[in-house]
Amino acid sequence: MKEPKVHIGILSGGKIEFILSETYRINNEEVWGKQIALFDNGKILWKGRYHNELLFESLHETCNSFELQDVTIGINFHWERKENQRFLGALKIIVENNKLTAINIIQVEDYLTSVISSEMSATASLELLKAHAVISRSWLLNKLKVENEKLKITEHPDSAANSQLSTFNSQLIKWYDREDHTHFDVCADDHCQRYQGITRASTEIVKQAIQATRGQILTYEGKTCDARFSKCCGGAFEEFQYCWDDIKHPYLIKQRDSKKDTFLPDLQIEAEAEKWIRTSPEAFCNTTEKKVLSQVLNDYDQETTDFYRWKVEYTQEELAALILQRSGIDYGQIIDLIPVERGTSARIVKLKIIGTKKTLIIGKELEIRRTLSPSHLYSSAFVVDKADVKDNIPGKFILTGAGWGHGVGLCQIGAAVMSEQGYTYDSILLHYYIGASIEKIYE
């Protein structure tokens, strides 16, 4: 197999400003310097002419770069911001959804060099970086084989004629996975994998990790693994089917994030989940060591300090307004938040929101996180306490939670701790992807 190229969607808008730092070629014309492309009447307006598509190809792919202006990173997260970003490879601009989209086309190994530096600190330990190189490569090559996966939505209203029963028994279950990326392979934000080009200088150790694992992927029974990862599992692995499609991957199964204590209670039982979340069980990712955390968390991620166990409080007014704003559904005053179903890490898969005007069961985990936070709740592994209750209406809700992210696959903070404790990259990988193998598929 030859090393493939990947198409990454970077940003969209009515205007795209970019700087070609060196000479690029488009339609046998050589161009450089600052450029502006505008969306106008269904086409791309560039240098006074209309185009259906623009493709700027680098004359020297390994060293020429271009800069995109005002790229949004951390979309919908608490640290969302804009920055100018530089990229190697080619720049393609297309018309999509009545605006322009900028796409970077680059070799897989060059893409991975950026992903590793974007997903975590480029000063991380070699074994951690090697492990992340393998899973990022695996996830990408698995993704390239799956076309046009879209947002899945299922609605299950009760068919009873009684409207009150219909409302009280209805469900809105959503999961988000590779949404509508029909004109490129992956996006550049956390929805896929963070990719920020060569904006953040890559260190020699990152390049060493990529080179040492070149062409290596995780496989299970001869197929490329869907190598998911998150920041912090909270001490227990979540299973794939509780976050996305109802598919059970044998290598993404429940397990304690520990070698010392391998016992994991049944966290799908509410009492066990509550005990787990309200305590701080031993696990690789149960750490506050700055030396370890700085390996995984970039400067903006370090704005988050509590993630193994965390707490969020809302007044009645704040929570009711937030849920209305985030979901578009008017529940009235919020009476209760009740877990209906949990996954193997205690993450809530289905949550019943009981209001004075409406009751609805929502899921899966990301939809719950999006509904209960101005950005994203750290995870859906939480328990609810109510306070200041008057006439059955709580005045305050306290959410106590565990972990950061969906908890499926590699736990980045846990993996960083394992690396510090002397585990090699293959041992780290096979701890998080149970029964998988590591194979080299191209030179």
pLDDT, tens digit (0-9, with 9 covering 90-100), for 336-391: 999 999 999 999 999 999 999 999 999 999 999 999 999 889 999 999 999 999 99
3-state SS, residue 88 = strand
Residue 90 in this model has a pLDDT that exceeds 50 = yes
User: Between vectors from CA 230 to CA 226 and to CA 235, what angle results, nearest 5°?
Assistant: 110
Mean pLDDT over residues 208-231, rounded?
95
Query: What's the whole-model pTM score?
Result: 0.84
Mean pLDDT, the chain, whole residue set = 88
* Size of the chain in residues: 443
Q: Give the model confidence (pLDDT) of 293-349 as tens digits.
A: 887 775 545 455 688 999 999 999 999 999 999 999 999 999 999 999 999 999 999
Cβ neighbour number for residue 156 with a 10 Å cutoff = 11
The pLDDT assigned to 29 comes to 94
Q: Find out whether 25 and 61 touch, Cβ atoms under 8 Å.
A: no
Residue 155 in this model has a pLDDT that exceeds 50 = no
Both structure tokens of 93: 């601009």
Mean pLDDT over residues 384-402, rounded?
97
b/e 210-227 (16+ beta carbons within 10 angstroms → b): beebbbbbbbbeeebbbb
User: Between vectors from CA 328 to CA 233 and to CA 172, what angle results, nearest 5°?
Assistant: 55
Query: Measured between alpha carbons, how far apart are the two ends of the chain, in Å?
Result: 8
Compute the half-sphere exposure of residue 36: CA atoms within 13 Å on the CB side of its CA. 5
The pLDDT assigned to 279 comes to 98
Mean pLDDT over residues 417-429, rounded?
97
Mean pLDDT over residues 184-198, rounded?
82
Mean pLDDT over residues 209-223, rounded?
96
Q: What phi-psi label fits residue 148: left (phi over 0), alpha (psi between -120 and 50 degrees) or beta?
A: left
User: Between vectors from CA 57 to CA 55 and to CA 62, what angle results, nearest 5°?
Assistant: 145
Mean pLDDT over residues 391-408, rounded?
97
Residue 59 in this model has a pLDDT that exceeds 60 = yes
Higher-confidence residue: 361 or 171?
Answer: 361
The pLDDT assigned to 225 comes to 96
Mean pLDDT over residues 270-282, rounded?
98
The pLDDT assigned to 78 comes to 52
Alpha carbon distance 73, 79 (integer Å): 8
47 φ, ψ to 5°?
55, 40
